[in-house]
Chains A and B, each alone.
Chain A
C-alpha cells in the first residue's frame, strides 16, 4: 500500500474509533466497523485520492458500517441479550484524547496479556487482524478469535467509554505501559521463529508510546518507557550480523547505533529522572543510556549500572533483573562475584538466558569446560534460531580454544 496513505490511516484509526464509540457506543462492533472503513480507504485512496476531510470520511463510512453490523446483529440476537445493567458512573470524556481512552479499554484488567496486546495493535495501532496474526506467528483465524473474545469480555465488563476513575488510573496506566513494553519486546527479542527482529512491532510500540507521551507529557514513567525503547532500539542495526547471527552488545560495532534515538532517549530520561518518584522504566532507561554512552563494553560505567540494578531490584523484584544485576556485578567486580549471585535466581534455571549468562561468567573466570556445557544447555532451551546458533558457536569456540 501507499506508505503515506498507510501512515495517515494508522494515525487516524484511534480517532475514528473514538468518535464512533463516543457517538454510538458498542465498542466491540464499532471496532469492526472502523476496520472496514480503514480497509475501504486503503483500497480507494491510493488511486482515487485522499478526501479533503479524511477523518470525516472515515467516521461517516464507519458509522454506516456500524449501523449495518448492528442490524445484522439484532436480527440474530434475542432482545434480552442486548440488555445490560448500567451500573457505572458516566465518566467525563471532554478534554481527553480518545486514543488514550481506547488504550485503557484495550488494556482492560479483565483481559489476558496476549489479548490486550492483540487488541491494542488492532484498535489503537490500526493494524489488520492479518498483520497482528503475522506479527505473532499465529493463524489469522486464531487471532480473530482472540480479538473477538477480548472485545466480548470488555463488553461484558460494562466498561464505559472514558478514562478509568482517578483511584485506579495509575494502576491502569501501568497496565497500558506494560502492554506497550510487551509489544516492543516481542519485536526486539523475538521469542520464536526464524527471524531475530520483528522490527515492525518495535517501531509500532515506539509510535504508540510516543503518542502516550504526547498525551501525558508529565508522566515520568511514560517518558522512561519511551526512552528505554529508543535507547534499546538504537542498537538494533548492530545487533545482527550480515548472516542474521546475533551479535552480543560487547561485540557490536557501536558506530552503527542510531545516534538520533540515543540522543532523544538520553534527553527524555534526563528530564524524567528528577521529576517525582522514579519508576522501573526510568531506571531501565538510565541503565540503557549508560550502555549507549559507553565507547566500548570495557569502558562502560559498570559500578553505576550495578547501583541502578540494585535500585531496580528493590523497586520491582524480578528474576530477569536479578540476572542482569549479576552480569553487571561480574563486569564491575569480577566473574566470581557474579556467579555467586546466580544462585539467587535459580527460578530461571529453565530459561536459556540464565544458562547463557552462566556460560559467559564461567568463560570469564577461565572455566572453559563448564562454560561450554552451560552454553550448550542454553542452546537447547533457546527458542529463536539465531539465539541457538549464537550459543552453539560460543560453545564450539571454547573447544577449539587451547585454553579450554
Chain B
C-alpha cells in the first residue's frame, strides 16, 4: 500500500533555512546535520525497498495559484507565516502504522529548538484503485 508523508513549512521557515535573519536561527552546523539526516533517511527507505519517490518544493514565494475567476492567475498567495506543502515522500509499505512509524523518524531530524518544536508531518493513504476503497 502506498502512503504519502507530507511536510510543511512557511516562507519564514524557508528564509530561516536559507540563513536569513528571522526569529529561528539555522546555523551552518544545523543545516549540515539536517542534510545528513535526510540523506540517511532516504537511503534507509530506499534500501528497505519502501521509497517510491521523494521531492522537495521550492519556496512558497514561487507559487502561482489558478482558479476562482476563470483565467485568473495569482502570484505567491501565501502569507509568510502560513504553512504550505514543502516536501513529500511516497512510500510503499505494509500498513498505515508502518508508514506512520517511518514519518515519526522525521521527528528525530536535527533542527534548532524553535523549528523542531513546531515541525510536523502528515501521513495519508494514497487512493490507488477502486479495490483500495473497498469496492
Q: How many pairs of residues, A versus B, come closer than 8 Å at their CB atoms?
A: 42
Q: Is A79 an interface residue (CB 8 A)?
A: yes
Q: Is B71 an interface residue (CB 8 A)?
A: yes
Among listed A49-57, A80-88, A257-265, A316-324, interface-contacting one: A80-88
Q: Is B77 an interface residue (CB 8 A)?
A: yes
CB neighbours (8 Å) of A25 from chain B are: 64
Name the residue on A nearest B14 (C-beta).
A67
How many Å lie between the Cα of A203 and that of B80 in the bound state? 47
Decide if A67 touches B75 in the complex (CB within 8 Å).
no
How many Å lie between the Cα of A74 and that of B15 in the bound state? 14
Q: Mark A43-84, 1 if CB is under 8 A from B, else 0.
A: 000000000000000000000100100110011000100111
Decide if B74 touches A82 in the complex (CB within 8 Å).
yes
Decide if A67 touches B59 in the complex (CB within 8 Å).
yes
Decide if A79 touches B74 in the complex (CB within 8 Å).
yes
How many Å lie between the Cα of A74 and that of B76 in the bound state? 8
Q: Is B73 an interface residue (CB 8 A)?
A: yes
Q: Is B62 an interface residue (CB 8 A)?
A: yes
Binding site secondary structure of chain A: helix
Decide if A86 touches B59 in the complex (CB within 8 Å).
no
Q: Is B57 an interface residue (CB 8 A)?
A: no
Decide if A70 touches B72 in the complex (CB within 8 Å).
no
Known: A70-B61, A70-B62, A71-B61. A83 touches B72 (CB 8 A): yes
Q: Mark B57-93, 1 if CB is under 8 A from A, else 0.
A: 0010110101000011111110010000000000000
Decide if B77 touches A24 in the complex (CB within 8 Å).
no
How many Å lie between the Cα of A25 and that of B59 in the bound state? 14
Shortest distance from the beta carbon of A77 to any chain B beta carbon, whole Å? 9
Decide if A82 touches B72 in the complex (CB within 8 Å).
no
Instruction: Point out which of B64, B71, B72, B75 has the most chain A C-beta atoms below 10 A from its C-beta.
Output: B75
Shortest distance from the beta carbon of B121 to any chain A beta carbon, whole Å? 24
CB neighbours (8 Å) of B18 from chain A are: 64, 67
Decide if B74 touches A86 in the complex (CB within 8 Å).
no
How many Å lie between the Cα of A168 and that of B94 in the bound state? 58
CB neighbours (8 Å) of B62 from chain A are: 24, 67, 70
Decide if A86 touches B72 in the complex (CB within 8 Å).
yes
CB neighbours (8 Å) of B59 from chain A are: 67
Decide if A79 touches B71 in the complex (CB within 8 Å).
no
CB neighbours (8 Å) of B77 from chain A are: 79, 82
How many Å lie between the Cα of A64 and that of B61 in the bound state? 11
Instruction: Point out which of B62, B66, B77 has the most chain A C-beta atoms below 10 A from its C-beta.
Output: B62
Give the number of chain A interface residues (Cβ < 8 Å): 16
CB neighbours (8 Å) of A24 from chain B are: 62
CB neighbours (8 Å) of A74 from chain B are: 61, 75-76, 80
Kindly identify, within residues 37 to 63 of chain B, every residue whose CB is under 8 Å from any CB belonging to chain A: 59, 61-62
CB neighbours (8 Å) of B15 from chain A are: 71
Shortest distance from the beta carbon of B59 to any chain A beta carbon, whole Å? 5
CB neighbours (8 Å) of A87 from chain B are: 71
Quick one: which of B11, B61, B75, B80 contacts A83, CB cutoff 8 A?
A: B75
Shortest distance from the beta carbon of B131 to any chain A beta carbon, whole Å? 37
CB neighbours (8 Å) of A64 from chain B are: 18
Known: A71-B11, A87-B71. A82 touches B76 (CB 8 A): yes
Decide if B76 touches A84 in the complex (CB within 8 Å).
no
How many Å lie between the Cα of A71 and that of B80 in the bound state? 9
How many Å lie between the Cα of A83 and that of B76 in the bound state? 9
How many Å lie between the Cα of A85 and that of B69 in the bound state? 9
How many Å lie between the Cα of A84 and that of B65 in the bound state? 11
CB neighbours (8 Å) of A70 from chain B are: 61-62, 75-76
How many Å lie between the Cα of A293 and that of B100 in the bound state? 82
Decide if B73 touches A84 in the complex (CB within 8 Å).
yes
How many Å lie between the Cα of A70 and that of B59 in the bound state? 11
Decide if B73 touches A86 in the complex (CB within 8 Å).
yes
How many Å lie between the Cα of A75 and that of B76 in the bound state? 11
How many Å lie between the Cα of A147 and that of B74 in the bound state? 25
CB neighbours (8 Å) of B75 from chain A are: 26, 70, 74, 82-84
Known: A24-B62, A25-B64. A83 touches B74 (CB 8 A): yes
7 cross-chain pairs, A with B, having the tightest CB-CB distances, nearest first: A82-B75, A83-B74, A86-B73, A70-B61, A86-B71, A71-B61, A67-B59
Q: Give 11 A-B pairs besides A82-B77, A83-B72 with Cβ atoms closer than 8 angstroms.
A: A25-B64, A64-B18, A67-B62, A70-B61, A70-B62, A70-B75, A71-B80, A74-B76, A85-B71, A85-B73, A87-B71
Q: Which residues of B approach A to under 8 Å, CB–CB?
A: 11, 15, 18, 59, 61-62, 64, 66, 71-77, 80
Q: Pull 24 A–B residue pairs with CB atoms less than 8 Å apart, ordered by A.
A: A24-B62, A25-B64, A26-B75, A67-B61, A67-B62, A70-B62, A70-B75, A70-B76, A71-B11, A71-B61, A71-B80, A74-B76, A74-B80, A82-B74, A82-B76, A83-B72, A83-B73, A83-B75, A84-B72, A84-B75, A85-B71, A86-B72, A86-B73, A87-B71
